[in-house]
Amino acid sequence: MVLNRPKALNSLTLPMVQTIQRYLADWEKSDLCDVVMLRSNNRKAFCAGGDVVQVSRDWREGNKAQAMEFFRTEYKVNHHIATYKKPIVAMLDGFTMGGGVGLSVHAPFRVASENAVFAMPETKIGFFPDVGATFFLPRLDGELGVYLGLTGQKLKGRDLLYAGIATHYVPSERHALLEQRLQGLGTSDYDAINLAIEEFVAQPETTESEDFVGVANDVPIDFSLASVRDVIDICFKFNTIEAILQALTEVANQPGPACEWAQKTYAQLNQMSPSSLKLTLEQLRRGAQLDIQKAFEFELVLAGRRLESHDMHEGIDALLVRKTNDAAWDPENVHAVDIKELYSQYFEGEYDSTPLYLGGTSFMEYPHKFGLPTEQEILDVVSGESPQVGKFSLTCDEVIDFFMREYQSKMGVEQKVNWVLSRRTKLKDTDGTLEVIDS
């Protein structure tokens, strides 16, 4: 399936989403289809989001049913991708934002290229991270998902692999060959498809370069957030925006590599809709406890209620129509947002909307795991919490060897495991075994 609206960076319209919905349903039942590939017609964008300008226009002109139908159909498609009965391979080549994330992040195979640019910038238009972000962002490492959801920070290229958004990193020049390889497989076997994609992945960067960020024990990893990864957890672990801003202020006032990042992040948050920030933080905290079906149903309620707000239409108009980036938020700052009123407006009471009718398929964790191990999985092996290892104390080399065996020497595994161990563990005994450092 090829997204083909290049002048709009493949932004999704309702007819596009309905077409995707129809073909996915047909191909799922067809004996002629083994694998579904989602890609773009150009390298500039996979999909830069949904056409929220049209949604806002429909709502303000009184066509509220049409506006809601866009979100309802989009979320159904996202859920269908997450629960699809055949393998889906999403090619993240170019801008992958908002609605484009919804078309890709729930697929079992997510292939990023050097052109990939990921972001969930909804708080900047007075909305909230949707398309299943309620489910997938809280399941990224630590507080990384909360950070990305609140700030709209962009990740590029290999960042997507190490953040857990992509499962593979394949340079764009190899995509045509990869497509041919998948076409010739003749199978829907997930493991076979994974191994086929692995044939085309690029080696991790191993030479010193200006792109490398120095981390603990001088372990290099080609991840733009490497030097602030632990600081993200420190600052974004709180349950109020005020506390997050205070933590950023404290880091910004301390000398060190995170000072500049904290200043920039504080400034980013101050550009966003204050009510969107508070809405998004509560959304993501609740999303950690929701299964994927309930997450989408929850988002449909939030979308309907957010369409009634001032900030969503003002943000869309300022950023995407006037293009002045001077939205007049109401309330104008986070301190003026009444949290009790916000809870009452978005998280309480009934909502008279046609339900999604997603069916009974759901889960609390994605059923397919073809990306890199999570930080928690790595630390569980060290602490003895992993049932695959037990209570045995392991050295750094033994932990790395374990994951290389489990992941069949997958590209990037050694780099991520070594990096996590360098940050989050210390030597326990003279025999070189490790223990987890309390965060």
> Is 99 a catalytic site residue?
yes
Q: Is 146 helix (H, G, I), strand (E, B) or coil?
A: helix
Question: How far is 336 from 312, CA to CA, in rounded Å?
Answer: 17
Long-range CB pairs of 425-434, under 8 A, 24+ apart, other chains included: 425/379, 425/382, 425/396, 428/393, 429/393, 431/393, 431/395, 432/395, 432/396, 433/393, 433/394, 433/395, 434/382, 434/393, 434/394, 434/395, 434/396, 434/399
> Is 287 a catalytic site residue?
no
SS3 content of the chain, % helix, strand, coil (to 5): 50, 10, 40
> Is 100 a catalytic site residue?
no
Active-site residue identified among 51, 93, 122, 375 = 122
Active-site residue identified among 49, 94, 98, 99 = 99
Active-site residue identified among 34, 49, 50, 142 = 50
Q: Is 308 helix (H, G, I), strand (E, B) or coil?
A: coil
> Is 431 a catalytic site residue?
no
- Tell me how crowded residue 2 is: count the other CB atoms within 10 A of its CB: 11
Long-range CB pairs of 25-34, under 8 A, 24+ apart, other chains included: 25/80, 27/86, 28/84, 28/85, 28/86, 33/86, 34/86, 34/87, 34/185, 34/186, 34/187, 34/188
Handedness of CA 380, 382, 384, 390 (dihedral sign): positive
Active-site residue identified among 93, 130, 141, 314 = 130
Q: Which of 234-273 are b and which e, b meaning 16 or more Cβ less than 10 Å from the residue's Cβ?
A: bbbebeebeebbebbeebbeeeeebeebbeebbebbeebb
Q: What are the catalytic residues?
A: 50, 99, 122, 130
